[in-house]
Amino acid sequence: MKILVLNGSPKVKSDTFRLTDAFLKGMTQSGEHEVHIVHVREKKIAPCRGCFGCWQRGDGHCVIADDQNAILDLYRDADVIIWSFPLYCYGMPSPLKAVLDRTIPLVKMNMVQQPDGTVRHEALVDFSEIHTLVICGCGFPHWEGNFDGLKKMCEVCFGNPDIVCVPETPLLNVPAAAIVADPLLAKFQKAGEEYAASLRLSAETVVELEKPMISAEEYIRNVNGI
C-alpha cells in the first residue's frame, strides 16, 4: 500500500505531527508499505494563478515549475493520503492550502452532474480508489465550533474522508504533560492498526481520539499562566 502524508505544519516540532507519526507506526507495523512524507514547509509551492493552463495541457501537471508537480505524481499514485496539520484561523495553514488549491490539474474543465445533484469537474484520476484521512490539531481546549468549517471543506473536497480533530495538542510537547499525552499517542498508534485493517476508523475510535486530555478549565488556567 502506498501512503502519502502531507505534513502542513509550518513548525519543525509539530504537535499535530506527533499524532500522525504515532498513527503511522500503528498503520505500518502489520506489513510492508511505501510511505512518502512531504513536509510542505520545505517545499516551494506557489499559490494557484487561476490560469487554467493545466486544463489546456490535460496531463495532470501544473504549468508552474516548482515542487507541486512531484506532489501531484505522488498524489495520483497513492492508496492512502493523510493530511496532517494544525488548525489555522479555523482552516488549513496557507502553505498546505496552496497544495490543495493546486490539485486542480487532476481534474478536467468538463463538468458532470452527480447523482445527488451536485456538479463536479470530470476527474483525471479515479479518486474513489484513494482513501483520505485528515488529522488536525488545535490549541483550543475543546473542538465544538472550532472545526466545523474545516470539516465541511474536507467533506466536500475529499468525498467524506475520515476526519480526526484533536484539541489541546500543545500539551504533546510539554514534558510535564506526558502523563496525559502519552496515552493519547498510544490511542493514535492503535487507531493506525485499525485503519490499516479496514481503511476506515470507527465512530467510537474517533470519539476516543478527539477527547480532551484535561478539563477545559485546567487547560485554560495553564495557557493563561494562572
List, for residues 23-46, the tens digit of each pLDDT value.
999 999 877 789 999 999 999 999
Q: What does the pLDDT look like over 148-164, one tens digit per residue?
A: 999 999 999 998 899 99
Map residue 154 onto helix, strand or coil: helix
Residue 134 CA: distances (Å) to CA of 8, 153, 160, 222 = 11, 11, 10, 28
The fraction of the chain above a pLDDT of 90, given in percent, is 85
Give me the residue spans of the domains in the chain. Answer: 2-223
Kindly give, in sequence order, each residue whose CB lies less than 8 Å from that of residue 80, ignoring residues fewer than 6 positions away. Answer: 1, 2, 3, 4, 130, 131, 132, 133, 199
User: Predicted confidence band at 118 (pLDDT cuts at 50, 70, 90)?
Assistant: confident
The predicted-structure confidence for 65-90, as pLDDT tens digits, reads as follows: 999 999 999 999 999 999 999 999 99
Across the chain, what does the average pLDDT equal? 94
Average pLDDT over residues 191-209: 96
Confidence (pLDDT) at 226: 61
The pTM is what? 0.94
CATH 3.40.50.360 fits domain 2-223: yes
